[in-house]
Structure 1
Amino acid sequence: MSNDATDTAVDTRYRDASLPIEERVEILLSQMTLEEKAGLFFQTMIAMGEGGELSDGDPFFGIASNREYVEARHMTHFNLLGVAPTAGDIARWHNKLQELAASTRLGIPVSISTDPRHGFNENPGASIMAGPFSQWPEPLGLAATHDPALVERFAEIARREYTAVGIRVALHPQVDLASEPRWARQLQTFGEDPDLSGELGAAYVRGFQGEAFGPGSVSTMTKHFPGGGPQKDGEDPHFDYGREQVYPGGQFDLHLKPFEAVFAAGGRQIMPYYGMPVGTEYEEVGFGFNKGVLTGLLRERYGFDGIVCTDWGLVTDQPILGTDFAARAWGVEHLTPAERMQKILDAGADQFGGEDDPALLIELVESGLVDQERLDVSARRLLREKFALGLFENPFVDAEAADAIVGSAEFRAAGLEAQRASVAVLSNGGSLPFAAGIKLYVEGIAPEIAAAYGEVVETPAEADLAIVRLQAPYEQRASMFENFFHAGSLDFPAETLAHVAEIAAAVPTVVDVFLDRPAILAPIVASADAVVGTWGAHPAALLDVLSGAAPARGRLPFDLPRSMAAVEASRPDVPFDTTDPLFRFGHGLTL
């Protein structure tokens, strides 16, 4: 059911920036065909071509060509996949994609989004590699600074780097509370405390969106409403064994506090979580399908009139980027794709994340199951955002300037300073700070980096000090994709503990642990002279702090449990609920 819009001259007044945005939206919306409206509702991954050229797609990841998406499917929202060698490549590709969009009948510009790109950590299950962008601690590391001004400064720099290459939507921040110590998605949160998470989340939004939302802004999509932390056994809801969110402590509303701070800061977009609430007043279906949550809570209680985009792949059970894992339509797995789409719209969402088949929505409208008026409600929100971002006036970027802006010396220095500020010294028997020039035995640090701080030796027996870097433990699962999501026991394997104890018996030893989850550190604290926590720190940033060249400023963003028994006995919806933690939230020594 196409209307007659294609047979009449286009009324171009929607391009007149002197008119109010709402008027421009109505002028454009009134001329859109059903197919053009339907294309707005889909946001999926898109690939770049080499050297900044348009892409013919990526069959392995199920990604169509740029032309297919823009010209045939009328899609205008995309999440950029992968890493380009240079910022200039991204910018040139972006401009070519905007040229393609401008050549369509109405010339609706594309909106490019991205998952986090600035973290020093390169676990693709948690964040996308930084590539040419400046490198910073992961959000848990930003939380370890307990410094809203630093977080806002990070977001301002990230905004300048994103806009330089044409990225205008951030699929972050993630303000879920890390209230379940085993939960696999903590690294991108601001930790366990609702007040700190809200304060830092608001600073993050202000930095990305700017003092006034407009042409220089990056729109933030805060996730995962209404809070994704209370996962049963800490499992991830990408998988059927992790679909349940449970609230034995009755703290559902506590998880809303960080979102309230984001709303007050002007956050523009929301992504609901995959998980389904169990034992609450709400329907036991995934939050993207949940009308009580999206309409009753988000739209009506909070008065949120921004964009709601579902998490990826709720409609068509598309495999996750080349894996065998598909359905995350928890509680409605039995529904057909059309029925799922209808339920998502009825729940109050505006976009289908990770989906790329507008024909299905068109069929729903043509069959009378979804009316055009419902489409127009969401289409207005989606168009309004493009107008507010200034994309209709100037969708292009200066590709020649992009390489000078993205990853500039100033921005990289700021990122490195933030990495230093995030290092948390948890225990110190006296070996820190260490003196320059001593004999160092290192594991997990390149010898050429350590050589700037001391004489690197081959064995602990030769050393004055050993420095060992470890990853917080996690259970190995059956597939590579599952292992991107670090889950399961927080106990270190016996062989790791024995290895650390052997080194510590030979020489005073400092152990640094990448705490993407709150590992059980009691055995390591007992054997090592000093223990440090990091969340994405270059070895030089770590060594600057350990040597005293930079102050130790980091403080824990969560409690560190004393044992797995304490973790298993805690309630997943209640922050700070493990008995007698080894170190408390906010703990961090100075040197």
Structure 2
Amino acid sequence: MEPYEDPRLPVEDRVTDLLARMTPEEKAGLLCHGRMLAGDRGPYRSGAELIGERHINHFAMMQVPSPGEMARWNNHVQDLAAATRLGIPVTLSSDPRHGVVSNPATAHTGGGFSPGPEPIGLAATDDPDLVEEFARAVAGELRAVGIRLALHPMADLATEPRWARISGTFGEDADRAGRMLAAYVRGMQGDSLASGVACMTKHFPGHGPQADGEDSHFARGKWQAFSGNNLEQHLKPFEAALGAGTAQMMTCYSIPGGSGLPEVGASFSREAITGLLRERLGFDGVVCSDFNVLTGLDIPGLGELPPRNWGVEHLSLTEQLLKLLDAGVDQLGGETRTALLTDAVRDGSVTEDRIDASARRILRDKFRLGLFEDPYVDPEAAEALVGSPATRELGRRAQRRSLVRLTPRRGALNRIPASPAVYVENVDPAVAACYGRVVDRPEEADLAVVRLQAPYEQRESPLERHFHSGSLEFPPEEIRRLEALCATVPTAVDVFLDRPAVLTGLSSAAALLTGSFGAYDDLVLDVVFGRRDAEGVLPFDLPSSMAEVEASFGDVPFSMPNPLFRCGRRAGG
């Protein structure tokens, strides 16, 4: 047994021993964090090539077909890793898998995992204990299939209402977001990383203030607008995550215009990573760039994304790499071209000591996770644990607790007959049939229940369609249709608030208005039929108009002077 293989030795001693044995090529592989599909399907290079030839041992898992198959795939890639010269185990990572929003660039659903609400819904519960309990269950399911690094949570503040990724945040209030983030990190990582899942909190130093709400996955969204000079507020949730011990950090694509930081994406900013994160906030863990800042990505059926090298497009690829390393990045998200690193070391552009500093941080987490002791999982146990009745019920409880009642119950909704006739839109009729007789026409109904998606503008590119952007107002013809429905029959309206929709017309027309953040139909119907009240708190301001949104400061919480509903609103209060 070599010293680095001896679990009795301190982690730092094991890291030092292993690092001294590694070649430049093996270190370069350690600094790359690729993508992988279970079964080597799709455009990504095979695990055998990436692990055996390029020495890469960090992979973000994309779509996962089932818990058992994912567990077997983990064991397969660990066998490939064990056959390499030093036997360095693979760390598998993943974007969120326990919500209801599926976006091939940011989050996944399916695979048998137990869904709760979106993170913004966890914030709406206003219950750190519940958030920690749910995160612990999430970690248990991820561990069962071999995923030991979570590419979440998002510590970004929802200060720009038009931004497409608000559902992945913990809201607009920095203090509440910090409490929920800390609870989430504690639940995910457990008492020690050996019994938990490491968190890579993102997107430092804050992704929320996107100019006009456009997302920086795309060139039109490369700029942020710190028009209120409020960078400090956006650092608060990251400080809370650091206080809870988050293992790793991911940087932001965006150029922080008006923040006082250099006008380059955070991955290329020494002032952001070394100055703010390391020196001021004291973080010495792994810093990973957001994915594909150097290399573009082709997503099957959705098209090609160019590199998100915002602010340094004029530099050569080698110059961009050197700027990343000088900024303080340890690991290159989405990159598999290890030769970029080895060539830079050979020609003297980068010292091996600089590579070693990052390799040390990365190895430290592999040892802390216990992967050198046992990287394998039990496929049968994974099938039994993932999506178990107990965990699914916990997810349902979190969904139920996240529902927000925005207006009081009005009129006939306080006097629902014992066997009502119910008209529904965007509600499963089979579920609604458990509450009354489902009818086809509003005129035949005692009440109507309508579930809506917060409005957005359809974009042209297939991938950008997954990022809900643009106006937060429903089209006038849709408002007229809904007002006519409400005039015909008492109507309960629930809106999925993945962004803060303008609900001014609906708030006065509907007999009941609720907000949801990922919840099953029956949980919403329980509220409509008075079996339960909605307990959640609104995690952001809801604007009264788009004019108010456009006049507000996108980096300043609560900068709309006259919102329709204020953040913190609970049960129609």
TM over 0.5: yes
Conserved? CA contact 2:541–2:566, under 8 Å: yes
Give 1:45's match in structure 2, choosing from 19, 35, 45.
Answer: 35
Structure 2 residue 39 is the aligned partner of structure 1 residue 58: no
Aligned residue identity for 1:404: A
Query: 1:94 aligned to 61, 69, 74, which one?
Result: 74
Amino acid in structure 2 at the alignment position of 1:169: L
Q: 1:79 Cα shift?
A: 0.4
Q: Tell me the amino acid that sits aligned with residue 182 of structure 1.
A: R
- What's the counterpart of residue 61 of structure 2? 80
TM-score, normalised by the number of residues in structure 2: 0.97
**2:359 aligns to what?**
379
> Following the alignment from structure 1 to structure 2, what is the Cα–Cα distance between the partners of residues 487 and 496?
18
Structure 2 letter corresponding to 1:469 = R
What is the correspondence of 1:160-559 to structure 2 with a 5 Å cutoff? Answer: 160-211=140-191, 213-319=192-298, 322-427=302-407, 428-432=409-413, 434=416, 436-559=418-541
TM-score by length of 1: 0.94
Are 1:126 and 1:187, in contact at CA under 8 Å, matched by a contact in 2?
Answer: no
TM-aligned CA distance change 1:590 to 1:518, over 3 Å: closer
2:532 and 2:24 mapped to 1: Cα distance? Answer: 59
Q: Within the alignment, does 1:70 sit opposite 2:54 as a pair?
A: no
Q: Secondary structure at the match of 2:406?
A: strand
8 Å Cα contact 1:299/1:305 also seen in 2:
yes
> 3-state SS of the aligned residue for 1:215?
helix
Q: CA separation in 1, counterparts of 2:487 and 2:399?
A: 30
Alpha-carbon deviation of 1:318? 3.6
Q: What amino acid does structure 1 have at the position aligned with 2:173? A: D
Letter in 1 for 2:472: L
Alpha-carbon separation, structure 2, partners of 1:183 and 1:323: 22
The one-letter code sitting in structure 2 at the alignment partner of 1:537 is A
In the aligned structure 2, how far is the partner of 1:207 from the partner of 1:75? 29
State whether residues 413 and 447 of structure 2, in contact with CA within 8 Å, keep that contact through their aligned partners in structure 1.
no
1:52 is matched with: none
Determine helix, strand or coil for the equivalent of 2:153: coil
The whole-number CA distance in structure 1 between the counterparts of 2:412 and 2:106 is 33
Q: Percent identity?
A: 52
Corresponding residue for residue 105 of structure 1: 85
In structure 1, what residue type is equivalent to 2:54? R
Aligned counterparts of 2:426 and 2:528: Cα–Cα separation in 1? 15
Shift of 1:474: 0.6
User: Match of 2:21, SS?
Assistant: coil
| Aligned equivalents of 1:415, 1:178: Cα separation in 2 | 23
Report the Cα offset of residue 123 of structure 1.
4.4
Q: Which amino acid aligns with 2:49?
A: E
Shift of residue 325, structure 1, vs aligned partner:
2.6
- Structure 1 range deviating more: 420-429 or 447-456: 420-429
The Cα of 1:431 is off from its aligned counterpart by 4.5
Conserved? CA contact 2:97–2:113, under 8 Å = yes
Computed over aligned residues only, the root mean square deviation of the Cα atoms, in angstroms, reads 1.4
1:22-65 deviation line (CA, Å, top 9, x unaligned): 0000111101011100001111210111xxxxx2x422xxx101
CA contact (8 A) 1:417 1:541 kept: no
What amino acid maps onto 2:443 in structure 1? A
CA contact under 8 A between 1:126 and 1:484: conserved in structure 2?
A: no
Q: Deviations over 1:133-160 (max 9, x none)?
A: 1010001111111111111011000011
Paired with 2:168 and 2:455, the residues of 1 have a C-alpha distance of 17
> 2:200 aligns to what SS in structure 1?
strand
Pick which of 433-442 and 239-248 moved more.
433-442
Q: Describe the shift of the 1:309–1:585 C-alpha distance in structure 2 as closer, same or farther (beyond 3 A).
A: same
* Counterpart residue identity of residue 2, structure 2: T
Q: Which amino acid aligns with 2:258?
A: G
* Distance in 1, Cα, partners of 2:411 & 2:185: 41
Q: Of 111, 126, 133, which residue of structure 2 is paired with 1:146?
A: 126
Give the conservation status (yes or no) of the 8 Å contact 1:308–1:350: yes
SS of structure 1 residue aligned to 2:390: helix
Confirm or deny that 1:157 pairs with 2:167: no
- Within 1, Cα distance between the matches of 2:455 and 2:30? 42
Question: CA–CA distance in 2 between the matches of 1:169 and 1:46?
Answer: 14
User: Which amino acid is 2:246 matched to?
Assistant: G
Residues of 2 paired with 1:123 and 1:146: CA distance?
26
Give, in angstroms, the shift of residue 126 of structure 1: 4.7
Structure 1 stretch displaced more, 215-224 or 238-247: 238-247
1:20 to 10, 20, 24: 10
Q: Deviations over 1:115-143 (max 9, x none)?
A: 00000233445520133010100011111
8 Å Cα contact 1:126-1:188 kept in structure 2 = no
| AA in 2 matched with 1:108 | I
Per the alignment, in what secondary structure is the counterpart of residue 261 of structure 2? coil
Per-residue CA deviations over 1:169-225 (Å, capped at 9, x if unaligned) read 0000001000011111100000000000000000000000002x2321100000111
Residue 99 of structure 2: aligned partner: 119
Q: Once structures 1 and 2 are overlaid, which stretch shifts more, 414-423 or 384-393?
A: 414-423
SS of residue in 2 equivalent to 1:30: helix
Of stretches 435-444 and 144-153 in structure 1, the one that deviates more from structure 2 is 435-444
Q: Which amino acid in the other structure matches residue 68 of structure 1?
A: E
CA–CA distance in 2 between the matches of 1:277 and 1:500?
Answer: 40
State how far apart, in whole Å, the 1-side matches of 2:205 and 2:299 are: 23
Residue pair 2:131, 2:180 contacting (<8 A) in 1 also: yes
Q: Secondary structure at the match of 2:209?
A: coil
CA distance in 1 between counterparts of 2:376 and 2:464 reads 38
Q: Which runs of 5+ in 1 are unaligned?
A: 1-10, 50-54
DSSP 3-state at the match of 1:324: strand
Amino acid corresponding to residue 140 of structure 1 in structure 2: I
1:561 aligns with 2:543: yes
* Partner-residue secondary structure (3-state), 1:224: strand
Preserved contact between residue 514 and residue 533 of structure 1 (Cα < 8 Å): yes
User: What is the one-letter code of the residue matched to 2:427?
Assistant: I
- Matched letter for residue 264 of structure 2: V
Deviations 1:316-375 (A, max 9, x none): 234456523313111101112211111101000101111111011111111110110000
Aligned residue identity for 2:38:
M
Provide the residue aligned with 1:580 in structure 2. Answer: 562
SS in 2 for 1:38: helix
Distance 2:61 2:101 in 1: 19
| Paired letter, 1:20 | P
Q: Is the 8 A contact 2:211 2:554 kept in 1?
A: yes
